[in-house]
Amino acid sequence: MKRILAILLAMMMVFSLAACTSSNEPSEEPAAEPETTEEEAKLVVYTAASDEQLDVIIPLYEEKYGVEVEVISAGTGEMLARADSEKADPYGDLFLGGGESNFNAYSHLFQPYVSSEDANLIPEFRNNTGWISYYYLDCPTLLYNNDLIGDIEIKGYEDLLQPELKGKIAMPDPTASSSAIMHVQTILTDFGGLDVNNEQGWDFMTKLYENMDGKMASGSSAAYKSVVDGENTVALTYEEASVRLVSQGANVTIVYMEEGTVFTPTTLGIFKDCKHLENAKKFVDLCLSQEVQNILCKDLCLRPVRDDVDYPDYFASVSDVYTVELDQDYINEHNPELIERCKDIQTTIGF
């Protein structure tokens, strides 16, 4: 009996030790920590920007951040329509170029982002929507030939009605030229307000057409080139072309209309659910940086959205230009009607 009890006691001790050992071991393998991977070193840019801009910004970005950029270029409408068709699974990360009206029409494609550079921009051109950033500006201007101007004084739109300028004014067709319709919008704003039914403004447009004496430039570039070549005395054109000509030594003078001009921004924004969000944010920040804004101003003759840049002598700063506010919402809704009014006047006069 004693021997049996000893054997039972020994067996109980063995089972007890086994139970203790088992309780100290985890019942199953610990869950593996999720792997964290860095964002792919790539960025896909949809753009309507010029090759000149892309040839400056893209290599600079790639070198600075070690990110490969794929650029897909087309017209603003075509690019945004493509992005819209892909919105469930975006291929592009951001859109560079185009006006605010284009962005507003496709606002559902873009996600919020305010650049770290935003506070350094001119206050009027900071990101007040939360998702649109402005990266350069343009405005309508007048441009005259210094050799042909003689004693004629041109400070604004009113001066274009002088009899001495009859048949010597170059303007492209507003029904086909973005720079020309921008002048029409500005003229209406300056003379009675931006409204399809503003008869004061349309009366001025009629008189301007009459002083053009039936001649319409074939396009924006044809208008300013005719002034440089001495075929016309003055052109209704836009700032980028005007500043570029002066920088190249053309014997011309830029006029910012004393009645007021308007600054229209070119924009960029990041697509919702894009695959390379952090890289896209870095791209926006770079475009708004002092480094790139200086390049746009000095090398590409584009008006920057910040004032802490080195303006060349021939480039007027924002504070030196009298501007009026353009009602972009009205343009978005009524621009086709403005174009039709232009057509009516042209038909009446005989263009």
**Which tokens in the block code for residue 255?**
């006029």
48-56 LR contacts (CB < 8 Å, sep 24+): 48/73, 48/74, 48/75, 48/76, 48/79, 48/96, 48/97, 48/98, 49/73, 49/96, 49/97, 49/266, 52/300, 53/96, 53/97, 53/296, 53/300, 53/302, 56/292, 56/295, 56/296, 56/299, 56/300
C-alpha span between 267 and 126 (Å, rounded): 11
* Cα 166 from chain centre: 36
The whole-angstrom separation of Cα 221 and Cα 241 is: 8
Residue 236 CB coordination number (10 Å): 30
| Predicted local confidence at residue 98, as pLDDT | 81
Please report which helix (H) or strand (E) contains residue 290, including its range: helix 290-298
Tell me the β-bridge partners of 70: 44
Q: Residues 180-204, buried b or exposed e (16+ Cβ, 10 A)?
A: bbbbbbbbbbbbbebbbebeebbeb
CA–CA distance, 313 with 322 (Å, rounded to integer): 18
Are 276 and 42 in contact, with CB atoms under 8 Å apart? yes
Measured from the Cβ of residue 29, the count of other Cβ atoms closer than 10 Å reads: 6
**Predicted TM-score (pTM) above 0.95:** no
Query: How many CB atoms are closer than 10 A to CB 257?
Result: 27
Q: Which domains does the chain show, CATH number per domain? A: 42-137+264-315 (3.40.190.10), 140-261+324-349 (3.40.190.10)
Buried b (16+ CB within 10 A) or exposed e, 328-345: bebbeebeeebbebbeeb
Q: Determine the pLDDT at residue 38.
A: 64
Token digits of residue 127: 């990101």
The rounded distance, in Å, linking the Cα atoms of 31 and 238 is 64
Q: What is the pLDDT of residue 104?
A: 79
How much is the pLDDT for 39? 78
- Which residues make Cβ contacts (< 8 Å) with residue 126, sequence separation at least 6? 118, 119
Residue 124 backbone phi and psi in degrees, to 5 = -65, -15
Nearest-angstrom CA–CA distance, 41 and 67 = 5
Per-residue pLDDT in tens (0 to 9) along the chain, 351 residues: 444 444 444 444 444 444 444 444 444 444 444 343 467 899 999 998 989 999 999 999 999 999 999 999 988 889 999 999 999 999 999 999 988 777 878 999 999 999 999 999 999 899 988 999 999 999 999 999 999 999 999 999 999 999 999 999 999 999 888 889 999 999 999 999 999 999 999 999 999 999 999 889 988 899 999 999 999 999 999 999 999 999 999 999 999 999 999 998 999 999 999 999 999 999 999 999 999 999 999 999 999 999 899 888 888 877 889 999 989 889 888 989 999 999 999 999 888
